[in-house]
Amino acid sequence: MIDIDPSEIRYRTKGRLFSPKYDIGRIRSGDWSKNKELIKKHPIWSGLHSRYVEGLDWQDTEYYEWARGEIVQKGVCNGYTDLDNFQKYRLKYIDRLYESLLEDGFQNDRNDIDSKRSDSHRGNILVNIAEDGELHIYEGLHRVILSSIIGIDKIPARVLVTHREWQMKREMMINENIDVPYSSHPDLLSLSEK
């Protein structure tokens, strides 16, 4: 586990490139880290910002419109196949999650996890580490965005996949006791705390 500042996470990994069940802790080469998108350009970011910073109703957010489009075009959004159930369950879950984060801070072992999730790492924020050390969110986008909105400055995350180039840099920095330029990188700080 590493501690990350949610406000510093800029990208999310696009698509389901890895399996949280089988790839946790793996080191992979290749160009997978280029398959990313800016979080602030995603409708989830703008929708949660509109809801919790601007105080808009869900139906007036880009997130709601995006979900409607996903259901119409793909037949599903976050496991929901119709907009009524998405509103009734998913959006209420996000409201409860926001309230929980406000009241209790970030709890990695929360009990009120979305019941539609069945993976073995539910509750964990999963990140991938690109070749340049950039952290890309893989799972937990809503929790990362909400934590950032609320102002939580440190949340635990589990590293799913690390790029081989970053791993080589990391090992060199550790073996040669190099402080710059990554001395405050969460992946390196986690080692100094052990």
Give residue limits of the domains in the chain.
Answer: 2-192
At 186, the pLDDT band (50, 70, 90 cuts) reads confident
CA distance 153 to 5: 5
Q: DSSP strand E in the chain: where? A: 2-4, 11-13, 26-28, 36-38, 125-129, 135-139, 155-163
Q: Angle of helix 43-52 relative to helix 141-150, nearest 10 degrees?
A: 40
pLDDT over 90 percentage in the chain: 74
Q: Is the pLDDT score of 46 beyond 60?
A: yes
CB atoms within 10 A of CB 112: 11
Question: At 73, which helix (H) or strand (E)?
Answer: helix 62-74
Separation of alpha carbons 50 and 68, rounded Å:
17
Place of tokens 């926001």: 98
- Residue range 109-146, pLDDT digits in tens: 543 444 444 444 456 899 999 999 999 999 999 999 99
Proportion of the chain above pLDDT 70, given as a percent: 86
**Region 177-190: what's the mean pLDDT?**
68
Mean pLDDT, the chain, rounded, equals 88
Virtual CA dihedral for 50, 53, 55, 60, nearest 10 degrees?
A: 0
Decide which of 157 and 184 is more confident: 157
What is the spatial distance between Cα 117 and Cα 123, in angstroms, rounded to a whole number? 9
